[in-house]
Structure 1
Amino acid sequence: MIVLALDTAGVDCAAAVYDSGTGSVLGEVTETIGRGHAELLMAIIDRALAKAGVALQSVDRIAVSIGPGSFTGIRVGVAAARGFSLSLGIPAVGVTTLEVLAAGHRQANPGRPVLAAMDAKRGEVYLQRFDGDRRALGEPQAAIVEDAKAIAAAFDGDIIGSGAYFLKDGSPQQVGDRFPIGIIARLGADAAVGEKPKPLYLRGPDVRPQAGFAVARI
């Protein structure tokens, strides 16, 4: 099965072509841009397909990171994945960014339980626990720092991600979380096909209307 994987949930804009039969990435492109995913994504996809030597029509499945992460970025990636799924008549699956963080850590630390934690800003942390066999222990959640600390204190395993410094001694991570596109592709190939991917936000957007420009309700 040939999988086209997309990531726009964080600071990267990335695409990869993955062959599940050989377990290998045939071609990938990642650019760390922070913002501007909508303007760059299609060119990134074209470059990844060209590197792989694979035509878009040969893709069997789309995989996309669905969050939590950048609100705008997630919308861009999910919309592209659903568009390709519809136009090509192939399934699309979503992969959570917390799952990607845990899987990346597990490659170097097999068998270790993982608490993936992302700095959600505004005094909150996105987090999810996984056991040593990759199974999720509960759903992804957003928690205030004090509640997240209590969860971490009761967790026997490795705590990773940009939110980890809230939960244990350490320095803040200076750059946003990154979600390796090869891992997204592999997890997407293994994922069960179900409903179409949709954004995983866990909370409302950070945008606040300016009171001085609010329209009075009648």
Structure 2
Amino acid sequence: MIILSIDTSGVDCSACVYDSENDVVLGEVTDNIGKGHAELLMGIIDGALSKAGLALNAVERLAVTIGPGSFTGIRVGVAAARGFALSLGVEALGITTLETLAADYLQQHPGRPVAVGLDAKRGECYLQIFAADGAPLTQAALVSLDDARETLAGFDGAIVGSAAPLFAGEETGSGPDHFPIAIVARVAATKPAHQLKPAPLYLRGPDARPQSGFALERVSPA
């Protein structure tokens, strides 16, 4: 099965074309852009397809990171994946950033449980714990750093992600998280068919909120 995976949930804008039958990455492009995913995503996808030597209609499944992460970036990626899936008549799946980092760790260090913590700022983090086989042991959640430290007290496994230094008492996290786009594709390949359509996993509301207490006077037409 040919899988096209995309990630716009963080500082990277990424796309990967993956052949799941032969476990081969056919084409991959990642650009660390910070912001502006909407403007660059189509070019990134074209680049991955070009490296793979395939046209878009060769894609048999879409995969997209659904968060937690950048509010705007997640919307861009999910909308693109659902649009492509609709036009191609194939399935689109959502892969969380937390399970992506867990799968990346477990691919390199099998046989050990792993906790993934993403620095959410404001004294909070996104946290989820996975078993050695990759199965989730807890739900993805936005929690305070104190609660995270309490949850992880005595945890006999690895701790990865930008919040890991914060759990150890350091003042700052390790910087922006990067979600390996080939891992997103490989995780998608393990999912059974007929999944729910991808939808954003925000866990926290947007920073931009409507102002309250102000209203514009309505003017009746002359």
TM-score range, shorter chain: over 0.9
Within 5 Å, give how 1:113-152 maps onto structure 2: 113-152=113-152
Please list every run of at least 4 consecutive aligned residues from structure 1 whose deviation after the TM superposition is greater than 6 angstroms: none
Looking at structure 1, the residues matched to 147 and 177 of structure 2 have their Cα atoms a distance apart, in angstroms, of 21
Give the aligned partner of residue 97 of structure 2: 97
CA contact (8 A) 2:163 2:174 kept: no
Query: Unaligned regions of 5+ residues in structure 1, if any?
Result: none
Any idea what SS the aligned residue of 2:165 has? Answer: helix
Give the aligned partner of residue 159 of structure 1: 159
**1:56-78 CA distances to partner (integer Å, 9 max, x unpaired)?**
01100000000000000000000
Tell me the TM-score normalized by structure 1.
0.94
For the pair 1:184 / 2:181, whether they are aligned, the reply is no
Greater shift in the superposed pair: 15-24 or 191-200 = 191-200
Any idea what SS the aligned residue of 2:41 has? Answer: helix
- Which residue type is aligned with residue 196 of structure 2? E
- Which residue type is aligned with residue 55 of structure 1? A
**1:30-52 CA distances to partner (integer Å, 9 max, x unpaired)?**
00000000000000000100100
Change (3 A) 1:165 1:174: closer
- Which residue type is aligned with residue 94 of structure 1? G
Change (3 A) 1:52 1:171: farther
Any idea what SS the aligned residue of 2:40 has? Answer: helix
Q: How many residues align?
A: 216
Within 5 Å, give how 1:1-218 maps onto structure 2: 1-170=1-170, 172-193=172-193, 194-209=195-210, 214-215=214-215
Is the radius of gyration larger for structure 1 or structure 2?
Answer: 2
CA contact (8 A) 2:119 2:173 kept: no
Looking at structure 1, the residues matched to 154 and 170 of structure 2 have their Cα atoms a distance apart, in angstroms, of 18
Tell me the TM-score normalized by structure 2.
0.92
Any idea what SS the aligned residue of 1:196 has? Answer: coil
Looking at structure 2, the residues matched to 175 and 38 of structure 1 have their Cα atoms a distance apart, in angstroms, of 23
Change (3 A) 1:145 1:171: closer
Looking at structure 2, the residues matched to 143 and 204 of structure 1 have their Cα atoms a distance apart, in angstroms, of 14
Q: Give the superposed CA RMSD.
A: 1.7
Deviation at 1:123, TM superposition (A): 1.5
Deviation at 1:210, TM superposition (A): 5.2
Any idea what SS the aligned residue of 1:106 has? Answer: helix
Greater shift in the superposed pair: 125-134 or 167-176 = 167-176
- Which residue type is aligned with residue 206 of structure 2? P
Deviation at 1:168, TM superposition (A): 1.5
